[in-house]
Amino acid sequence: MKLTTEGLKTALLNTADQIEKQKDELTDLDREIGDGDHGINMSRGFTAVKKELEDKDSFADLGELSKLVGMTLIKTVGGASGPLFGTVFVKFATKWNGKSSVEGDVLYDGFKEAADGVAARGKSKAGQKTMLDVFEPFTEALKSDEPLETVIENALAYTKELKAEKGRASYFGDASKGLQDPGALSSSILLRQIAEVLNG
């Protein structure tokens, strides 16, 4: 498994297209346990990312690409999720600066830094029914032989049954059990696209 600058760029463009396709689904989920804007927020963010990527011929390395994506998401997504998704890419940049291809421990370190960064920023941890419940198992799976697709699917199924303890969904208490967390679903969209380029 290897992530190159071109690979990450491809994954991001595919994520933007997939977010557009699932925009209404994301918003509907957020209507049930939030304020009904997650699809709109993510669509706004990834449309901006796509434009930035298409406007620029090439990126020096994974650090430069990740930093631009992180800053763009922070500026455009809004809500609770904007700074959190932005943090993922800003943290990638701190580990992958100057590198145009990462694998093994360096690949893992970027994801670990990102997951820890989201936890710190959101004052959250795995098990609270948020995007972290997909990011953390994905990160740990980079060290195992388990197919990433399966890990993402299992993480989503597990997250769905949890009781929300962070963000707006936490106001729904026990009623949140059995409903999918919108941020977990959007994270799975991004991570599926990354898994696809990692698997080559």
Question: Interface residues with ligand ADP (CB under 6 A)?
Answer: 30, 34-35, 37-38, 41, 79-81, 84, 118, 122-124, 130-132, 166-169, 181-184
Residue nearest to ligand ADP (CB): 183
Burial of 104 (0-12, 13-18, 19+ CB in 10 A): exposed
Q: Rank residues 5 and 76 by Cβ distance to ligand ADP and give the closer one.
A: 76
Q: Do the beta carbons of residue 131 and residue 35 sit within 8 Å?
A: no
Residue 85 C-beta: closest distance to ligand ADP, Å: 8
Which partner from the list Mg ion, ligand ADP, none does 50 bind, CB cut-off 5 to 8 Å by kind? none
Tokens representing 150? 């399966």
Residue 12 C-beta: closest distance to ligand ADP, Å: 18
β partners of residue 101: 4
Q: Rank residues 5 and 139 by Cβ distance to ligand ADP and give the closer one.
A: 139
The span from the CA of 88 to the CA of 71, in Å, is: 10
The span from the CA of 194 to the CA of 65, in Å, is: 14
Q: Rank residues 79 and 110 by Cβ distance to Mg ion and give the closer one.
A: 79
Q: Rank residues 79 and 137 by Cβ distance to ligand ADP and give the closer one.
A: 79
Q: Are strands 101-103 and 2-4 parallel, antiparallel or unpaired?
A: antiparallel
Burial of 118 (0-12, 13-18, 19+ CB in 10 A): buried
Residue 38 C-beta: closest distance to ligand ADP, Å: 4
Residue 93 C-beta: closest distance to ligand ADP, Å: 20
Q: Rank residues 21 and 200 by Cβ distance to ligand ADP and give the closer one.
A: 21
Nearest C-alpha neighbor of 1 from the set 129, 141, 131 = 141
Residue 167 C-beta: closest distance to ligand ADP, Å: 3
Q: Which residues bind Mg ion (CB under 5 A)?
A: 30, 34-35, 37-38, 79
